[in-house]
Amino acid sequence: MGDKHTRTLVIVTVALCVLVFVATGRTIGLDRALHLVSGRGVGETWFENPLYLIVEPAAVLVLVFTHAWRSRVLLAIPSIAMLVAVVEHAAFYRPHTMFSRADAVQLMLILCAVMAVGGLLLRMRERSRVALAAAAEERARRDERLDMARELHDVVAHHVTGMLVQAQAALVVAAQDKDKACAMLPGIVDGGTEALGAMSAMVRTLRDNGTATATTDLTADLHQLAEKSGLPVLANIELAEVRPELGRSVLRIVQEALTNVRKHAFDATRVEVDVRSTSEVLLLSVVDNGRTRPAHSGGFGLVGMRERVSELGGRFFAGATGDGWLVTAELPLEVRA
């Protein structure tokens, strides 16, 4: 609670405690109230009005509940104790027509305990809600960071790997044929230009509150990706219209799979890309016949692909086939609850 609300609550609590004690004193005699001596009252007063006798304990119970719910612990404990003390004092020493003295004391004690427990439960519920909200916010931030990391890896690795392969090839042939090596330079420049363009597009996406633009023609983009990969790709694409976020993820998975072929399967002579959709799922596979593949590449490509598929509610597999390497995914066409 804020300082202003805390001060107000303290003032109301003190004022009510004084009022209850004064009402008790006016009812049984102030000297008897101070010395806790029972005896006959001093005559009927407005404090014995039935309406007041209902409002007074109700106000006490509301304050007990409020302190248990909202006040700081160091304030709530003495405040509740003070309220319970004055209301129990009143229940014990004031005359009652409907209850005995013992019944009145027990009833108020039970009601105060119920209100305190209710306020405490509500406090715990609110704290749990705040903790859950904080955890959800942290998960959202983590997911956003992971998505950014995957995008950065997919975009940069794809283009930079192509540049690296061409540069390595140029170094190999430079000693024997400088003209052929020089002919490879424009491809490296084009790869760098495409990398910068992709990075700029990703930065614009992040500036637009993370709303990534998905592919509008997935079939055409997949064919273009296969043509620009520099690999002997045989593409078989049979797709119906898919939702934008699914199309974007499919494009990234295929892109990363082809990047891994270029990086790790140097002797691959055939790469087959198969993407087709059924009535319920989209099936994707990228398989190569390369055998030159280290057991542990140390990269995040497979992790990123697996995370993308998992977020879409699909299934993913990547591993050796005996004749090469296979990446396959099954993705639902519709969002699964």
Q: Could you tell me the pTM of the whole model?
A: 0.45
Domain ranges across the chain: 3-135, 216-337
- The structure tokens 């520099």 sit at 230
The two tokens of residue 119 are 């306020």
Half-sphere exposure of residue 265, counting CA atoms within 13 Å on the CB side? 24
pLDDT digits (tens, 9 = 90+) for 71-102: 888 889 999 999 999 999 888 888 776 778 88
pLDDT digits (tens, 9 = 90+) for 212-230: 445 668 898 899 888 888 8
Backbone angles phi, psi at 290, to 5 degrees: -80, 140
Single out the residue of 170, 189, 201, 187 nearest to residue 229, CA to CA. 187
The two tokens of residue 295 are 């057991």
**For residue 48, pLDDT beyond 60:** yes
Res 42: pLDDT: 46
Q: What is the DSSP letter of 97?
A: S
pLDDT digits (tens, 9 = 90+) for 157-179: 666 777 777 787 778 777 777 77
**Alpha helices for the chain (secondary structure H):** 3-28, 30-35, 50-70, 73-93, 101-174, 178-183, 185-207, 218-228, 244-264, 301-311
Res 296: pLDDT: 47
Res 307: pLDDT: 82
Please determine, looking at this structure, whether the domain spanning 216-337 carries the CATH number 3.20.20.70. no
Res 265: pLDDT: 82
Contact 84, 64 (CB under 8 A): yes
